[in-house]
Amino acid sequence: MGSFGERTSTGLLLHATAFLWFHKIADFRQCESALVYRKRANTEIRSQHRRILEVLIQEGKEFIRRIRAHGGLISAENGFSRKDIQSQVEELRNTLLQWLGGMSKKRKKEILDGLFNGSR
């Protein structure tokens, strides 16, 4: 593991990029409201909506992986935690599920494992 300065720099970078990710989600939700919920979205808009959700979910999962590998997330006043990121990823997954219907076997197993084995 690197020096204290390197760990601090990495922690700040993780925090800053996660902060920007939350803002991307807020912007996405505003556009989603205007383009998907208020209007009848065409196939192209629904496809883009799905792809953006998938990208945001992957980014969130990558933040969680990097935070764990780094040993945690720096805590800032009025900040957020890894659990906040996990909750946001779950909310994005729920939105994706709402729009796509059905659930994959892998996702069903993931939910059931989480339910019966507790949070990870």
Model confidence pLDDT, tens digit, residues 73-120:
777 666 788 889 999 999 999 999 888 776 667 876 777 777 777 554
pLDDT of residue 78: 62
Average pLDDT of the residues of the chain: 83
Contacts of 10 (CB under 8 A, 6+ apart): 2, 70
Identify which of 48, 45, 52, 44 has the alpha carbon closest to the alpha carbon of residue 28: 52
